[in-house]
Amino acid sequence: MQQELFDQLRTHQLQIAKISLQEMFNADSKRAEKLSLETNGLIFDFSKNKLTEETLDLLLNAAKSQGIQAKIQAMFNAEKINNTEDRAVLHTALRSEKTSLLLDGHNVMDDIHAVKIQMAEFCRKIHTGEHLGYTGKKITTIVNIGIGGSDLGPVLICQALKPYRQAGINIHFISSVDGYMFNDIIADIDPETTLFVVASKTFTTQETMTNAHSSRNWFLAQTNNNTAAIAKHFIALSTNAKAVAEFGIAAENMFEFWDFVGGRYSSWSAIGLSIALYIGWDNFAEFLAGANAMDKHFNETTDLRQNLPVVLGLIGYWYVDFFDYRSLVISPYNTRLTRFPAYIQQLEMESNGKSVKTNGDSVNYATCPIVWGDSGINGQHAYYQLLHQGTQVVPMDIIIAASDKFSNQEHNDILWSNALAQAEAFMTGKTYATAEAELLAQGMDAVKASEIAKHKVFAGNRPSNMLVLPEISPRYLGMLIALYEHKVFVQGVMWEINSFDQWGVELGKQLAKKVLADIEGGAISNHDSSTTTLIQHYISTRK
Ligand code: F6P
């Protein structure tokens, strides 16, 4: 970034840091109104953040100087912005209604459309009973075998949209290679009515392939080695046709996607087939349409001050690089979004957890924060203590639905009151004088009250974003996920990093192969003494 703009932001931060959030609200009765955005019914109130209109102006100038608009266009227009893998980044095309988008002279929309037809048709066959199990029974159980982006999205979306599920269909997920997960699930399923969906972009991921092979072996053992039955009970979602064929899944049972779809951006692709089987094709199409609405907002809102993903991304950037807040907590209040933090964790940390710029230079600033969280209401009774009174400030995204026809009013009122009260408490805090006065009013003697009051002080001035969905429906869930995808993109532009590769996951994979060979072969290769001792310990204790 241009040094001058960076310096302006630095100087400005020193001024902003002197003003509390409460003072900002006191100074402007219209603050909430001014610092809120809305698109397609999704409300984003960012007024409880350490910023002013001037901050936004400076951040937006910085974003423009990074060429953000041209970079957004480059992504949507299929330029190969994932430079280290020489790939375009086209998850947005998966939910686009366009009919033409050229990549290397080829219209990728034709491919996308053809796979969507294949997926919709397969859903129809499963749901109507045209595709039956090998003994003629209807398929009632989906087992999604995948990890990372081939698991986290489907898990989140199926949990969030459970009320929309197809009657008579249930779903399980096997992600970890821990045999317990596999054993636990096969104990509960019937081979005659189960469809195994092997979801892997590469079809080489050790955990997924191990679970896929174990599932096939289990299936064959249960069916008296009926290899012909595999075609009715195993399908593959992948970019790797050769490996799928080698595994023994026929071409017609493979649902393809392409290297221009990143794993953590893949729920919109064939990877979404487990979701579509669970919630039905029409609901899945709505989910895509919701994301598409957010794509249009992001791509077409050229007044960046009104662009929701841009503002969300810049606020995060502001905190990491100018306030040194290195952690972000995601607090969804609706139980159906409990897996949202885990999903966003991969999305943000695998995308922007980098220390080398796109051009190969090392960064000399902080990039992606630690992203974590859980259901907000559960967090209140666990880690919110630290967030209120701990030594570090952790910005929070609160996500909540305005109404939930699958909940009930009394419970929803309590949920909302808690979400709002927490955001208010983080911001306002409680002074020593107030804490002491409360204790005295409760009848505590003055000496004790002056001691105990110290422990009841809340520094306050802790920021939060509030995102309000009209409801947790396929459409709004699609919009919400796309919002965060674009937020990640914006931050990648600010940090000058490629958000679409993930080389940092490779080293552990390589070493795991070496360690496994040592364990299986019994001869330990060259490692540090800690690793060697632990391998020896494992070899001596394993059955
Ligand atoms: O190891 C990380 C990763 O490559 C993720 O990026 C990806 O989502 C996950 O593994 C699963 O990969 P695949 O879909 O190829 O099995």
Atom of ligand 1 nearest to the CA of 263: 8
Cβ-count burial 447-466 (b if 16+ within 10 Å, e if not):
eebeeebeebbbebbbbbbb
Contacts for 470 with CB less than 8 Å, ≥ 6 apart: 41, 42, 401, 402, 403, 476
Expressed in angstroms and rounded, the spacing between residue 146 Cα and the centre of ligand 1 is 8
Q: What's the pLDDT score for residue 522?
A: 83
| 456 contacts 439 by C-beta, under 8 angstroms | yes
Segments of 293-374 assigned E as strands: 327-332, 370-373
List pocket residues of ligand 1, CB cut-off 6 Å: 147-150, 200-202, 205, 208, 263-264, 350, 502, 505
Q: Angle 449-450-452 (CA atoms, 0-180°, nearest 5)? A: 60
Sites in the chain below the pLDDT cut of 70: none
Task: Return the half-sphere exposure (C-beta side, CA atoms, 13 A cut-off) of residue 325.
Answer: 24
Picking from 145, 307, 366, the residue whose alpha carbon sits closest to that of residue 236 is: 145
Expressed in angstroms and rounded, the spacing between residue 264 Cα and the centre of ligand 1 is 8
Q: Angle 151-153-156 (CA atoms, 0-180°, nearest 5)? A: 105
Contacts for 114 with CB less than 8 Å, ≥ 6 apart: none
User: Cα–Cα distances in Å, from 93 out to 28, 31, 242, 499?
Assistant: 42, 37, 25, 17
User: How far, in Å, CA of 315 to CA of 34, rounded?
Assistant: 15
Q: Tens digit of pLDDT for each residue in 269-328?
A: 999 999 999 999 999 999 999 999 999 999 999 999 999 999 999 999 999 999 999 999
**Active-site position among 207, 286, 348, 350:** 350
Handedness of CA 36, 38, 44, 50 (dihedral sign): negative
Cβ-count burial 267-297 (b if 16+ within 10 Å, e if not):
bbbbbbbbbbbbbbbebbbbbbebbbbbbbb
Expressed in angstroms and rounded, the spacing between residue 204 Cα and the centre of ligand 1 is 9
Q: What's the pLDDT score for residue 41?
A: 98
Q: Tens digit of pLDDT for each residue in 356-367?
A: 999 999 999 999
Ligand 1 binding pocket mutation candidate from 147, 174, 240 (most atoms within 8 A of CB): 147
User: How far, in Å, CA of 235 to CA of 244, rounded?
Assistant: 9
Active site residue 162: no
Interhelix angle 281-300/108-128, nearest 10 degrees: 150
**Active-site position among 381, 410, 506, 543:** 381
Expressed in angstroms and rounded, the spacing between residue 119 Cα and the centre of ligand 1 is 22
Look up the pTM and report it: 0.97
Closest CA to ligand 1's atom 3: 148
Q: What's the pLDDT score for residue 244?
A: 97
Expressed in angstroms and rounded, the spacing between residue 208 Cα and the centre of ligand 1 is 9
Active site residue 509: yes
Active site residue 350: yes
Atom of ligand 1 nearest to the CA of 149: 8
DSSP state of 387: H
Contacts for 446 with CB less than 8 Å, ≥ 6 apart: 440
**Active-site position among 405, 448, 454, 509:** 509
User: Which runs of consecutive H residues, i.e. helices, occur in 444-505?
Assistant: 446-455, 474-495
Output the six-digit token pair for 354.
């980098």
User: How far, in Å, CA of 536 to CA of 525, rounded?
Assistant: 11
The one-letter amino acid code at 50 reads K
Closest CA to ligand 1's atom 8: 149
Q: What's the pLDDT score for residue 444?
A: 98
Picking from 535, 506, 501, 537, the residue whose alpha carbon sits closest to that of residue 521 is: 535
Picking from 119, 86, 489, the residue whose alpha carbon sits closest to that of residue 268 is: 119
Q: What's the pLDDT score for residue 417?
A: 98
CB atoms within 10 A of CB 521: 10
